[in-house]
């Protein structure tokens, strides 16, 4: 990941070339490739030697001499084959590395310390399933604890039925008595299954509800037409962007694929937050907290709980929550950050972040973006360590009113603004266990609309890992379904407009007029 960050400084053309070159080089198995080259060289050497050295040996019988030479040749051929079999190198020359396991899957398998049996029931005619079979074989060679058996389901119906398999391309993973079934042709899904299998305790992520938050059952998202003026998250864009239709369904599906459990909890009842909530996520509250609800949260943090607060710019915090956050060393300021230097596409309010604060929750993160964020500030709080995780560039400024005159703000002072920060410590001197808290001045970046893009999902999932105290676990990003998109430059869009709206109708009109004139 750090390599990727460094590459972003290069021009786009150079980056893509170097990136693909580096990827190709990294994917090669250099040790086995060395053995392969050594065997080939040895064979070439033997061939050359055979040409130079007379094959006739000093035996009395010509037949005995020839037999000995042939036997030696056969022996060398067998040796070479065995050598190549035992040190085979994997060369994947496809552009998308279709037959090579992903780096994340390889990392998960390499770190396995317990034996896991994988039985993959596939259909022989399915090309994608055969490709996954080849990748499973490669993963098997990386760690003896990863044991793979591939079975043609149609050819072995009794075995498939005995394992409860009712679908093609179904992988049954076993670790002792535990069993996980994954239906896929993607090696990353297999690795996620391994992670689920290794998980010995149930980790519950509780999502706050009752204040109009983003719903984890909601999979709605909206699609943007990017451009200089027609992509807006401000008030003028509300006619197009239905903010209430956002949801956290994609985040929920991702954490469930990681083997975590998602559950909704409500503060409104005044009941304490359950102890089995490894972390609580408050994503975009729309109504104010009551002091009683804040007390529920305070008591949870005092017990050593973890929480993530994602607060949109237009939300007014009530005094009790603001006081609680102040006690954690965090102040949530009003306004919206504008970053003329580091932003995504042409929207200066869509802050792009490529450099992060040093923290376990930001290790190896690539570019992420935050559409419409409010600034945060660090306050002095004894016993609490606060770390900025993401910030805008030093050229940023804050506007109070998105529709108002921004001339004054543009000409005013400019400085880097904190967008996300993490706090860890004890809420009070006598508190039993340290809490963990992450606050972001934006909630959209985790919503269905923006979660799958760039490194946003990495940022959210890494934060959740830190909150659940699993930051040392292997990092694995579940694949998120994204509709295929076509990105056009402004020039391409103008060209399409000229051809379809002006040129073709114009030609038809011209032909009609010409015909009328000719017949007249």
| Of the candidate residues 26, 81, 161, 401, the single one contacting other proteins (CB under 8 A) | 161
Contact at 8 Å (CB) between 247 and 270?
no
Give the one residue of 62, 110, 137, 166 binding other proteins; rule: CB under 8 A.
166
Task: Return the range that interacts with other proteins (CB under 8 A); candidates 54-62, 139-147, 165-173, 378-386.
Answer: 165-173
Of the candidate residues 160, 206, 317, 324, the single one contacting other proteins (CB under 8 A): 160
List the interface residues with other proteins, window 260-279 (CB under 8 A).
none
Which one of 108-116, 151-159, 183-191, 256-264 is the stretch in contact with other proteins (CB under 8 A)? Answer: 151-159
Contact pick of 24, 26, 77, 125 for other proteins (by CB under 8 A): 125
Residue 152 binding other proteins, by CB under 8 A = yes
Query: CA-to-CA distance for 466 and 176, rounded, in angstroms?
Result: 28
> In the complex, what is the shortest distance from the CB of residue 156 to other proteins, in angstroms, rounded to a whole number?
5
Determine, following the binding rule CB under 8 A, whether residue 167 of this chain makes contact with other proteins.
Answer: yes
- Sign of the four-CA dihedral 409, 415, 420, 426: negative
166 or 178, CB closer to other proteins? 166
* Cβ atoms of residues 302 and 429 within 8 Å: no
Q: At what angle do helices 187-198 and 249-257 cross, to 10 degrees?
A: 70
Nearest distance in Å: CB 120, other proteins: 13
CA-based diameter of the chain, in Å? 109
> Do 349 and 371 form a contact (C-beta atoms < 8 A)?
yes
User: Of the listed pieces 117-125, 299-307, 358-366, 450-458, which binds other proteins according to CB under 8 A?
Assistant: 117-125
Written as six digits, the tokens of 169 are 């391309």
H-run or E-run covering 67? helix 62-86
Rounded CA separation 306/263 (Å): 15
Q: Give the integer Cα–Cα distance in Å for 72 and 292.
A: 89
Nearer to other proteins, 26 or 149 (CB): 149
CA gap 362, 381 in Å, rounded: 23
Residue among 34, 157, 382, 412 that touches other proteins (CB under 8 A): 157
Q: Which of 119, 148, 165, 398 binds other proteins (CB under 8 A)?
A: 165
Q: What are phi and psi of 301, to 5 degrees?
A: -70, -35
Q: Which is nearer to other proteins, 163 or 349 (CB)?
A: 163
Q: What is the C-alpha separation between 429 and 92, in angstroms, rounded? A: 58
Between 124 and 408, CB nearer to other proteins: 124
Q: Is 149 in the site for other proteins (CB under 8 A)?
A: no
Nearer to other proteins (CB atom), residue 157 or residue 270: 157
**Is 137 a binder of other proteins (CB under 8 A)?**
no
The set of residues, in sequence order, having a beta carbon less than 8 Å from that of 66 and lying 6+ positions away, is 55
Contact (CB, 8 A) for 416 and 392: yes
Is there binding between residue 348 and other proteins (CB under 8 A)?
A: no
Residue 81 and residue 39: Cα distance in Å, rounded?
9
Q: Pick from 168, 219, 345, 453 the residue near other proteins by CB under 8 A.
A: 168
- DSSP 3-state of 418: strand
Options 121, 315, 356, 445; binder of other proteins; rule CB under 8 A: 121
Q: Return the range that interacts with other proteins (CB under 8 A); candidates 161-169, 232-240, 421-429, 436-444.
A: 161-169
| Residues 449, 222 contacting (CB under 8 angstroms) | yes
* 3-state class (DSSP) for residue 68: helix
Rounded CA separation 353/390 (Å): 7
154 lines the binding site for other proteins (CB under 8 A) = yes
What's the closest the beta carbon of residue 519 comes to other proteins, in angstroms? 16
Q: Which of residues 439-468 bind other proteins (CB under 8 A)?
A: none
C-alpha to C-alpha distance for 350 and 449, rounded to whole angstroms: 13
Interaction between residue 171 and other proteins (CB under 8 A): no
Which range in 17-25, 136-144, 149-157, 185-193 contacts other proteins by CB under 8 A?
A: 149-157
Please count the residues of this chain forming the interface with other proteins, following the rule CB under 8 A: 17
**Under the criterion CB under 8 A, does residue 158 sit at the interface with other proteins?**
yes
Judged by CB under 8 A, the residue of 145, 156, 245, 406 near other proteins is 156
Q: What are phi and psi of 157, to 5 degrees?
A: -65, -35
User: How near is the Cβ of 155 to other proteins at its closest, in Å?
Assistant: 5
Strand intervals (E) in 190-329: 204-209, 261-266, 277-283, 306-310
Binding residues for other proteins, per CB under 8 A? 121, 124-125, 152-161, 165-168
């Amino acid at each position: 990941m750090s390599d990727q960050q460094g590459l972003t400084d290069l021009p786009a053309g150079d980056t893509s070339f170097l990136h693909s070159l580096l990827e190709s080089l990294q994917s090669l198995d250099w040790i086995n490739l060395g053995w392969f080259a050594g065997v080939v060289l040895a064979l070439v050497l033997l061939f050359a030697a055979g040409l130079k050295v007379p094959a006739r040996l000093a035996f009395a019988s010509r037949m005995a001499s020839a037999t000995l030479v042939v036997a030696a040749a056969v022996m060398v051929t067998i040796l070479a084959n065995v050598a190549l079999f035992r040190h085979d190198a994997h060369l994947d020359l496809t552009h998308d590395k279709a037959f090579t396991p992903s780096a994340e899957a390889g990392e998960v398998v390499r770190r396995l310390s317990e034996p896991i049996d994988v039985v993959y029931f596939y259909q022989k005619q399915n090309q994608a399933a055969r490709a996954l079979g080849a990748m499973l074989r490669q993963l098997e060679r990386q760690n003896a604890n990863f044991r793979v058996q591939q079975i043609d389901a149609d050819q072995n119906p009794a075995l498939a039925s005995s394992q409860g398999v009712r679908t093609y391309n179904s992988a049954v993973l076993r670790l002792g008595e535990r069993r996980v079934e994954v239906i896929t042709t993607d090696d990353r899904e297999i690795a996620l299954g391994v992670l689920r299998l290794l998980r010995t305790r149930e980790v519950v992520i509780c999502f706050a509800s009752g204040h109009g938050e983003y719903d984890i059952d909601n999979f709605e998202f909206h699609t943007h037409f990017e451009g200089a003026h027609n992509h807006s998250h401000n008030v003028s864009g509300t006619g197009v962007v239905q903010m209430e239709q956002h949801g956290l369904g994609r985040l929920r599906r991702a954490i469930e694929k990681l083997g975590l459990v998602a559950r909704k909890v409500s503060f409104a009842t005044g009941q304490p937050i359950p102890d089995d909530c490894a972390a609580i996520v408050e994503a975009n509250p729309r109504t104010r907290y009551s002091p009683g609800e804040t007390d529920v949260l305070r008591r949870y943090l005092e017990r050593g709980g973890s929480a993530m607060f994602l607060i949109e710019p237009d939300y007014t915090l009530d005094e009790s929550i603001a006081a609680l956050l102040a006690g954690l060393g965090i102040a949530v300021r009003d306004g919206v950050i504008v970053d003329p230097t580091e932003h995504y596409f042409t929207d200066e309010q869509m802050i792009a972040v490529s450099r992060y604060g040093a923290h376990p929750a930001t290790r190896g993160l690539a570019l992420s973006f935050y559409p419409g964020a409010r600034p945060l500030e660090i306050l002095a709080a004894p016993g609490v360590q606060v770390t900025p995780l993401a910030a805008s560039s030093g050229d940023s400024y804050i506007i109070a009113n998105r529709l108002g005159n921004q001339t004054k703000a543009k000409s005013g002072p400019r400085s880097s603004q904190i967008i996300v920060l993490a706090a860890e410590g004890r809420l009070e001197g006598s508190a039993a266990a340290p809490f963990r808290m992450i606050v972001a001045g934006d909630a959209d970046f985790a919503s269905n609309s923006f979660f799958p893009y760039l490194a946003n999902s990495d940022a959210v999932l890494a934060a959740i890992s830190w909150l659940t105290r699993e930051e040392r676990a292997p990092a694995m990003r579940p694949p998120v379904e994204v509709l295929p998109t076509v990105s056009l430059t402004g020039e391409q869009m103008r060209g399409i407009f000229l051809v379809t709206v002006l040129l073709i109708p114009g030609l038809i009109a011209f032909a009609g007029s010409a015909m009328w004139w000719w017949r007249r």
